[in-house]
Amino acid sequence: MKIREMATGLQFPEGPIAMQDGSVVLVEIARGTLSRVRPDGSVHVVAQLGGGPNGAALGPDGAVYVCNNGGFRWGTEIDGTFRPLGQAEDYSGGRIERVDLNTGKFERLYSSVEGLGLRGPNDIVFDAHGGFYFTDLGKVRETELDRGGVFYGQPDGSAAHVIARPVMTPNGIALSPDGNTLYYAETEGARLWSFDITAPGRVRKDTWPSPQGATMLCASPGDHWQRFDSMAVDAFGNLCVATLMHGGISIVSADGRHHSHVPLPDRFVTNICFGGPDMRTAYVTLSGSGRLIAIEDWPVPGLRLNHEG
């Protein structure tokens, strides 16, 4: 695999979306923006969202839908790693936002679901029916940690409902190639969970002792200290999970039985998406060092997402 550095100096990039013109739309969480990285490496701000724009996805209407976590405090470690430290002093509340790529205009779709406010929306994926699943990781404060949830919403802002709540630190979210399985990654335990989808926005739930009705696929694969962030699915249904601390991409089979790891030079590898004509270019955000890289000739083509080309 050949690694190509596309952009540097990004302010904690996340949520990459591979566009057909070769550019990558992503968020810069610390900058509060939705930005576009062009093939020549230049960076253009699409929208000044404020707060903490996190996961992002292209919707059926061509707009970008953003999970905004409301903002972090930030710090730099002795090795130069730039990272979030907890809830921002000027925390502005969690929400889901829709951004018009042509004008940069944005609107807030959801700030609460079923009467409870969103705390730290994190990642989002659209299904073939035009609705979207998203996670709310919650926020961390000095002496306490929120429990979050998994939700389903309509892109016109008309309705959203709970899939599972409370859930411990849900982060990345993805769908199987056939659209029948919903996956999410748990950050703190480095665990992968799945739900069987019974209808758009509806899942089958396991009974106790499952803590939230999901089936656990794996827990912290390998022998390294790690946390799970966002993820993408390849054409074979493997889960490609951005992995914190043990920096890189952890690849886990759909049944959780097999795993491997692609190491990358950053402890805060936060997200991956696939693009290119053959879907074998992996775009990865190295957030601790503020870089976007492209990995050419990924061994397995990525799964083309709903509504993305």
Q: Where are the domains of the chain?
A: 2-296
Nearest to 202, CA basis, from 147, 138, 131: 131
Task: Kindly report, residue by residue over 111-158, the tens digit of the pLDDT.
Answer: 999 999 999 999 999 999 999 999 999 999 989 999 999 999 999 999
Q: Residue for token digits 């959203």? A: 160
Closest CA to 69 of 229, 211, 267, 273: 229
- Spatial neighbors of 274 by CB under 8 A, at least 6 apart, are 18, 232, 234, 280, 281, 282, 283, 298, 301, 302, 303, 304
Residues 234-269 pLDDT 10s: 999 999 999 999 999 999 999 999 999 999 999 999
Output the pLDDT for position 225: 81
Instruction: Indicate the pLDDT class of residue 55, thresholds 50, 70 and 90.
Output: very high
For residue 287, the 8-state DSSP code is G
- Residue 250's CB is within 10 A of a number of other CB atoms, namely 26
pTM: 0.97
> Is the dihedral angle over the CA atoms 136, 117, 180, 208 positive or is it negative?
positive
End-to-end CA distance of the chain: 25
CB 170 within 8 A of CB 230: no
Render pLDDT for 27-40 as a digit per residue (tens, 0 to 9): 999 999 999 999 99
Q: Which two tokens stand for residue 101?
A: 């790529």
CB 233 within 8 A of CB 206: no
Burial class, 75, CB count within 10 angstroms (exposed 0-12 / middle 13-18 / buried 19+) = exposed
State phi, psi for 163 to the nearest 5 degrees.
Answer: -90, -50
pLDDT for residue 309: 61
In this predicted structure, the answer to whether residue 223 has a pLDDT above a threshold of 80 is no
Question: Which tens digit of pLDDT belongs to each residue from 58-116?
Answer: 999 999 999 999 999 999 999 999 999 999 999 999 999 999 999 999 999 999 999 99
- CATH code that applies to domain 2-296: 2.120.10.30
Interval 12-28 mean pLDDT: 97
**3-state secondary structure (DSSP) of residue 289:** helix
